[in-house]
Amino acid sequence: MNAQPLLISRRQVGLSLVEILVGLALGLLITSGFISMFLSSKSSYNATERNARLQENGRIALNILASEIRHANFWGQLLNADNIIKPSITFSGCQAWASEPTGQRLMSTTDPNSGAPFDTCLSATEIAKIPADTSVIAIKRVSNRTIDYTTLPANEWYLRSHGAGGELKIKGTGDSAKPADREDWLYEPKLYFVKTDANGLPELCRVDSIMRSQQTICLVQGVEMLHIEYGVDTDSNGVPNCYSTDPTACGATPGDTVSASIYLLMRDLEEDRGYTNKTTYRLGSLEVDVDDHYHRAVFNTTVIAENKRYLPVR
């Protein structure tokens, strides 16, 4: 009876080579399945994140530009900016354009070297980084709410106005108490443009504080192209029947402009080497051909010129 346990012990010899190889094969198969699932999930996550980033940046940039164009030529309670008195000071460059409230208040160009305010508000370095055929926009208006002029920093510009007239003033230069029948509004001339940064990434930027420090602030990354077309009412029924980058091309005067269409071509910030983009994107009358590995999307909205009266457009 003692021989039987000894016989059983001798038969416990472990796994054979075939069994080990089969186990390894099964383990590799299961591991490769997990890796495949992880890579698929990561790819799906990256695609979702990329699309969300494009959509978010596109909406932000479009909202910024739409709000600015919608408020172009807004002068608070003042009905006619031609009645604004400006300080008796001679300015040059970008400030010369901004200090003239009676001048053109909504302008765009695809050639920033075409003249003021574009080649005076933008440096030669910035102009060199602006993609060809993209629009640059210059806008004159006041802020969306009244202010207390005493809280403004020195040399800031503001408009003191009533319904029939107004005066552009400079904080710290001839300040006086505000009469009860006047309102003060911060003066905010601005210029928007698209450029590439030091890493070659496109972005929407703004020239701000023109009348004080004139600084460039970049707002949204991924804005590759900006295109503006004006809606012109040639038969005076209040409805645009011709869209063009140049209102005079529709056989109308600039004052017939009643709306503006904004087109943005948004580009992802990182290449997707597994994707090749050979597409022709249409931004109104502008066609943009690409051949690279970036994902893109087009955003568009049309803005009504709410302050159409006395709104010269170039």
- Kindly report the pTM of this predicted structure: 0.82
pLDDT digits (tens, 9 = 90+) for 256-305: 778 889 999 999 998 888 889 999 999 999 999 999 999 999 999 999 87
Q: Report in angstroms the alpha-carbon separations of 152 from 38, 94, 264.
A: 56, 21, 35
Task: Give alpha helix (H) positions in 129-191.
Answer: none
Q: Distance between CA atoms of 200 and 253, rounded to whole angstroms?
A: 39
Average pLDDT over residues 157-167: 89
Question: With pLDDT > 70 as the criterion, what percentage of the chain qualifies?
Answer: 89
* Class of residue 172 by CB neighbours under 10 A (exposed 0-12, middle 13-18, buried 19+): exposed
